[in-house]
Amino acid sequence: MRIPVPTIAIPVVVALLYLLVPGVRERPWTPLRVTGAMIAFTSYVLLGVAAKQLGESLSVRAEARKLVTHGLYSRIRNPIYVFAELMLVGVILALHLYWLFAIVPALIAIQAVQARREAKVLENAFGQAYLDYRKGTWF
The helix-helix angle for 5-20 and 79-95 (nearest 10°) equals 20
Q: What is the pLDDT of residues 72-107, one digit of tens each?
A: 999 999 999 999 999 999 999 999 999 999 999 999
pLDDT in tens, 24-71: 889 999 999 999 999 999 999 999 999 889 887 777 677 778 899 999
Select from 90, 116, 118 the least CA-distant residue to 104: 90
- Binning pLDDT at 50, 70 and 90, where does residue 9 land? confident
What global pTM score does this model have?
Answer: 0.85
DSSP label of 108: H
